[in-house]
């Protein structure tokens, strides 16, 4: 079985990461050289079916956002993209405010 990568249209194995997308992530374009719009567009491009290992994508999204990104936030990528387009990472208190009130939070600080 195979499937088509939704990003580049290449055929990949049914349960495999797309090698083209993985190579692109591993190229690790420095976000300091990117405009806010380019960062937001890249983030939006990665949304949809997972084409790469989650840990690699999560790391890249955090680079694009310029802050830690909680996994539950990935359910609302438009909010992260809007934040990036706004040009500044939101304060940690606003990140916490996005969490449901009945969820426990563990914060590690060094």
Binding region for Zn ion (CB under 5 A)? 5, 7-8, 18, 20-21, 51
Cβ proximity to Zn ion: between 10 and 59 the closer is 10
Q: How far is the CB of 78 from Zn ion (least distance, A)?
A: 22
Q: How far is the CB of 59 from Zn ion (least distance, A)?
A: 17
**CA–CA gap between residue 28 and residue 91 (Å, rounded):** 25
Q: How far is the CB of 7 from Zn ion (least distance, A)?
A: 4
CA atoms within 13 A on the CB side of 48: 11
């Amino acid at each position: 079985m195979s499937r088509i990568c939704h990003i580049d249209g290449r055929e990949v194995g049914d349960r495999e990461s797309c090698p083209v997308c993985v190579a692109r992530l591993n190229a690790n374009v420095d976000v300091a050289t990117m405009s806010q719009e380019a960062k937001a567009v890249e983030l939006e491009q990665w949304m949809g079916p997972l084409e790469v290992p989650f840990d690699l994508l999560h790391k890249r999204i955090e680079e694009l956002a310029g802050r830690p990104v909680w996994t539950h936030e990935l359910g609302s990528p438009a909010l992260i993209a809007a934040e990036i387009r706004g040009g500044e990472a939101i304060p940690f208190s606003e990140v916490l405010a996005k969490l449901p009130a009945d969820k426990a939070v563990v914060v590690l600080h060094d």
